[in-house]
Amino acid sequence: MPEGDTVWRTAHRLDQALAGSPLQVADLRWPSLATTDLRGATTLEVISRGKHILQRLDSGRTLHSHLRMEGQWRVEATPQVTARQLAGDRVRAVLGTADWTALGLRLGMLDLVPTADERTLVGHLGPDLLGPDWDPSLAVANLRREPGRALGAALLDQRNLAGIGTLWAAESLFLEGLHPWTPVGEVDDDALAGVVERAHRLLSTSQHLAVQTSTGSTRRGETSYAHARSGRPCRRCGGSIRVAMIGEPPQERTMFYCPGCQGGLGPTDDGRTQRPLGSGPRQTRAGYRPR
């Protein structure tokens, strides 16, 4: 699932393309919005809130979208958009001005609400790691609300802090040397504040980069320390990076980690040999309804 930095870049691109010009095309291919006509409305701004995208219109309404696992917004110069592109069965929304057209492909959510009611969609989210109102103290306090919860699972809960996903959670925990399954209540204040700050720093850096990297390298296979590297040697200790599930059903997520650097095997890890991703039978990552 795209994480907050990717969603921020998407919203920024949509804002650059659509803000300030009236919509000449507004085709929403979503059951609840199929008869909605937004033509003539002008986009005031497009912003991200965690993993959510909010397109605010001068009509007092907000078009909300979420990419979930496979969604994306693609921006094309309006004169270059082809009939074939518009007819694709993956297209869920077409928003076009005289100059630019945004195609929403495989979107996971699409809603239209009064701008004053945006909180019904995103009000449950914790402080946004990339938002102007980012508050690390509030994020730490939110994490502390469930002291018995595994730290990795708590970090992934968007009600605690918004925008982080499995990539940046795994990388933040690895770089801070924290075991993902340690109960939050057993993590001291400095360590908890440290992993929150690390996540903020990683996302803040990545939001301006074309390639997500925590290592500083943009070469394929060299962009992460732990994430998506199960079965491969740890860049620090040389031991094997592993992957196991974290969290309670139905919201389990994959967590990549190094037992050598992060305090041993996780309780959901059976310790069996793991092949590198892509070298054996296909490994899948658990999904969940976005928060």
Apex 131 CA angle, 128 and 134, nearest 5: 65
Q: Is 51 a catalytic residue?
A: yes
CA distances from 227 to 40, 116, 224 (A): 44, 38, 6
d(CA 197, CA 39): 42
d(CA 19, CA 79): 18
| DSSP E strand stretches across the chain | 25-28, 43-49, 52-57, 61-66, 72-77, 91-96, 100-105, 109-114, 242-246, 253-257
Residues paired with residue 162 on neighbouring β-strands, in sequence order:
128
User: Which residues, 6 or more positions from 80, have their beta carbon under 8 angstroms from its beta carbon?
Assistant: none
Considering 3, 9, 56, 176, which one is annotated as catalytic? Answer: 3
d(CA 230, CA 241): 5
User: Which residues, 6 or more positions from 270, have their beta carbon under 8 angstroms from its beta carbon?
Assistant: none
For residues 2 and 67, the answer to whether their CB atoms sit within 8 Å is yes
Considering 127, 253, 259, 291, which one is annotated as catalytic? Answer: 253
Q: Is 2 a catalytic residue?
A: yes
d(CA 106, CA 99): 23
User: Residue 291 corresponds to which tokens in the numbers above?
Assistant: 């928060």
Q: Is 3 a catalytic residue?
A: yes
**How would you classify residue 85: left for phi > 0, otherwise alpha for psi between -120 and 50, otherwise beta?**
alpha
Considering 9, 49, 51, 291, which one is annotated as catalytic? Answer: 51
d(CA 189, CA 268): 26
| Residues with a known catalytic role | 2-3, 51, 253
